[in-house]
Amino acid sequence: MSIPSSPYLSVIPGSHEESQLSTLFPSSSLPTADCQLSSLHLPTATCPLPTHPFKIFIAGHRGMVGSAIVRLLQEKGYQNLLVTTREELDLTNQSEVHGFLAAEKPDYIFLAAAKVGGIHANNTFRADFIYENLVIETNIVHAAWKAGVKRLLFLGSSCIYPRDCPQPIREEYLLTGPLEQTNEPYAIAKIAGIKLCESYNRQYGTSYVSVMPTNLYGPNDNYDLLGSHVLPALIRKAHEAKLRGEQSLTVWGTGTPRREFLYVDDMAEACIFVMESGVQDGLFNVGTGCDVTIRELAETVKQVVGFEGTINFDTSHPDGTPRKLLDVSRMKALGWEAKTPLIAGITKAYKEFLKT
C-alpha cells in the first residue's frame, strides 16, 4: 500500500501486507430490536465501501480514547493512520487545522481530541474548558466539511445531560433541564459539538455521528490528583497509601453517588463499530448499562490494589451529579455491548498504572 508522506504528519504503519487488509468500515446487517431509532438514518442494507487506499485521521491520538482507537485499528491491520502531535498541529489554531485537512484530505476522522478533567479541574478552569473544546470542535468539523471528509465521529461526554434527568439516561433527554454546575462549561462545549455535527449533516449532507461515553478508564489515563477523574484518582491514592503503610484513605464526597464505568478499549471498539455500521447521523450513548456507588468503587479499587486500611469520606467536598447511568439500548440495537467487567478492567488499569 502506498502511504502518503507529509512534512508535519506521523504515519503509523500496520503489521499486515496490503493483500491481508480488510476494507475499513465493512457493511453489516443491523439486528432488529425494540428501540426508538426513528430520528436516526440507519442503513437498510449494505453500505458501499471504498476499494482504494484511504486515510483515517485520529485527532487526540495521545489521549486515553484516541490511543485506544489507534491500538485497535492497528490490531485490525489498518495501515494509513494519520496522527499529529500538538507541536506539529495546534488544533486550537484555525488556519493550521484548515491547512492540514485541506492538504491531507483524510477519508475518515475520529475526533477524540478534547480538554478533559475531573470535578476540581472543571470547576476551577471553567473558561479553559469551554474555550478550548469549542475551538477544537469548530475548527475540525468545519475544516472536515471543506476538505470533503466522508465520515466523522465526534466523542462527547455523558455530562451533556441534565443533572436531574430520569435514569437511565436516554439520548432524547438532551437539553431538557439544567446541567450539573461543576462541569457546565465543558458540557455546553460538548453539546455544541453534537449540534455542529447535526447541523452540518442537515445543511451539507455530511455523515457526522456523535457518541457519548460514560466515565472511562484504562491505559493512558490521567492520574494527576488535581485533574483526574474519580477512578484513576482512587487507584493512585490507594496505591500510594499502601506504599506508605497508611491505616486509612480519604475519598471526597459522601460515597453515595452512583456512577457507570467503561474500560477504554471497549470504548474504542464501540467507536469503530459505529463507523462500520453505516449509521449516517445521530447521537449514541456508550456504556455498560450498570452502575455502582462511589463507596462500592472505592472498595473494589482497595481490593485490586491490595490496600488494607479503611476508607473515609470527606463530606465537605461536592458529590457532583447524584447518579449517571446511560441507557445504551441504541447501541444494543446496532449489535454492540461492552465486554469488560469492572473488576477485570480495574485490574488491567492498575497494571498499566504500575508501568508509569
Say whether pLDDT at 8 is over 80: no
Where on the phi/psi map is residue 138: left (φ > 0), alpha (ψ -120 to 50), or beta? alpha
Q: State how beta strands 261-263 and 310-314 pair.
A: unpaired
**Helix H segments across the chain?**
64-75, 94-104, 119-124, 126-146, 184-204, 230-244, 264-277, 294-305, 329-334, 342-354
The candidate with the shortest Cα–Cα distance to 345, out of 229, 261, 248, is: 261
Least confident of 35-49, 69-83, 267-281, 342-356: 35-49
Q: What is the mean pLDDT of residues 173-199?
A: 96
Residue 53 confidence (pLDDT): 62
pLDDT digits 0-9 by tens, 39-74: 344 343 334 334 336 799 999 999 999 999 999 999
Report yes or no: 206 and 152 within 8 Å, Cβ to Cβ: yes
How does pLDDT run across 208-225, given as a tens digit for each residue? 999 999 999 999 998 988
Tell me which residue has cell 456512577: 259
- For residue 309, give the C-alpha cell: 486500611
Query: Which residue in 78, 108, 186, 208 is the catalytic one?
Result: 186
Mean pLDDT computed over 262-285: 95
**Considering the chain, what percentage of its residues have pLDDT values greater than 70?**
85
As a whole number of angstroms, the distance between CA 225 and CA 208 comes to: 35
Q: Which residue carries 461492552 as its cell? A: 338
pLDDT digits (tens, 9 = 90+) for 298-331: 999 999 999 999 999 999 988 877 888 999 999 9
Task: Choose from 23-32, 73-82, 301-310 the range with maximum mean pLDDT.
Answer: 301-310
Mean pLDDT of 22-39: 34
Q: β-strand 283-286 against 207-213: which pairing, if any? A: parallel
Is residue 263 among the annotated active site residues?
no
- What's the confidence (pLDDT) of residue 324? 87
Read off the pLDDT band of 166 (50, 70, 90). very high
CB–CB of 338/273 below 8 Å? no
- Number of C-beta neighbours around residue 37 at 10 A: 17
Range 10-43+53-217+261-290+325-341 classified under CATH 1.10.10.10: no
Q: How confident is the model at residue 35 (pLDDT cuts 50, 70, 90)?
A: very low
Report the percentage of the chain scoring pLDDT > 90: 74
**Residue in the structure block whose three cell numbers are 447541523:** 199
